[in-house]
Amino acid sequence: MYDFDKITGRHGTGCVKYDGLEGQFGHADLLPLWVADMDFETGDFIVDALRERIAHPVFGYPEVGPEYFRTIAGWVEKLHGWKVDPEHFRFIPGIVRGFALLEHFLLGKGDKVVIQPPVYHPFRITAQEQGFGVVENPLVPIYGDDGFLETYKMDLGGLERICGDPAVKMLVLSNPHNPCGVAWDAGTLAAVADIAVANGVTVISDEIHCEMMLGGARHVPFASVSGNAAKCSVTFMAPTKTFNIAGIVSSYAIIEDPELRDRIFGWLDATEISYPGIFSITATMAAYTKGARWREEMLEYVQANVDFVDGWLRENLPEIRAVRPQASFLIWLDCRRLGLPQEELNDLFVNKARLALNDGTMFGTGGEGFMRLNAGCPRSVLAEALRSLEKALKQ
């Protein structure tokens, strides 16, 4: 049994989540529940593998042998039932860098990228800052009988209209969706693929949270749902969220379509962007060959954390509701019943409750009145945070 209740100090380790607090929030003493890495210690099987490699005092160019992608392909098939040829994988230097690179490589002047907010903010930033247009197809909220948000669905009609614009060349898809944790079903993904192929749109599917499904939900890889999906897409996955190794860049791309694969992989290989470092290889191999039990126990703990936050809010702060995620450790908090403008909502969390969460508006349209909470931490930390929030609201 692994101990996920253990509190491990991270101040002074150069991590954004703790050492970046003052720069982001103006205070260094906040309880950090923002950046999407976990406070759990990385599994000993990864740490031991890295120590073993570090024990050798020469760090020359690594050989990327066939076992690397065979191991990744085997993991993908085991988890998702998606059998992919190991030759259809390539390393990429991070998923945000991945879709930024593909935007740079595939798009031209005047081209547009579709995003579906509220969504992970680099989807918008990478396209805008490279000079491409960004078109929004906002998600459609679905409410329960009590009036609180339960989940979202895609506006497929809106997506079809948007993709009818000849300037729209790319859709960046979040699957599962960050920040709300929706696991998109096969029917929805197949409809997206049909729209994309009919309009010549390439789909970049960010599936970094796919190894962390909760509550019996199943991940459906976008490219697996149909021939059209395989034809039009690039899939990004990684062990980094699951095994808490975000500081060791270990992402990879999967492309099933031969023409698209030869074009993109040819460029990635020629520029050596697809060449992983020693520690990326070591950490990924250890995670995918020895990490199954750690992952199972971690997911059980995270699920219990989600249950804890949801139940605690319902009992003690019923004006705030947790949108229960189907994947990952991020919880989308619906705070709109508090009736606070976003500036005052941020003030409540940061200056009064002394908590660092992600402001919902950073995720774009539909984020007003929301905050994103990172539940990938010991439960005692969540309990402390919730008590601080309750105290701040009652002052």
**Cα end-to-end distance, the chain, whole Å:** 41
Nearest alpha-carbon partner for 376 in 337, 336, 325 = 325
Q: Which two tokens stand for residue 247?
A: 């500081």
Tens digit of pLDDT for each residue in 114-167? Answer: 999 999 999 999 999 999 999 999 999 999 999 999 999 999 999 999 999 999
| Cis peptide bond upstream of 176, omega within 30 | yes
Where do we find the tokens 């941020």?
346
- Pairing type for strands 202-206 and 168-174 reads parallel
At the fourth CATH level, the homologous superfamily of domain 16-32+293-394 is Aspartate Aminotransferase, domain 1 (3.90.1150.10)
The pLDDT assigned to 395 comes to 85
Which whole-number Å values give the CA distances from 51 to 45, 69, 82, 286, 394, in the listed order? 10, 22, 32, 12, 49
Q: Right CATH number for 57-290 from 3.40.720.10, 3.30.300.30, 3.40.640.10, 2.60.120.260?
A: 3.40.640.10
**How far is residue 280's CA from residue 217's CA, in Å, rounded to a whole number?**
29
Mean residue pLDDT across the chain: 98
- Global pTM reads 0.97
| Cis peptide bond upstream of 118, omega within 30 | yes
Tens digit of pLDDT for each residue in 228-272? Answer: 999 999 999 999 999 999 999 999 999 999 999 999 999 999 999
Domain boundaries, the chain: 16-32+293-394, 57-290
**How far is residue 6's CA from residue 380's CA, in Å, rounded to a whole number?**
9
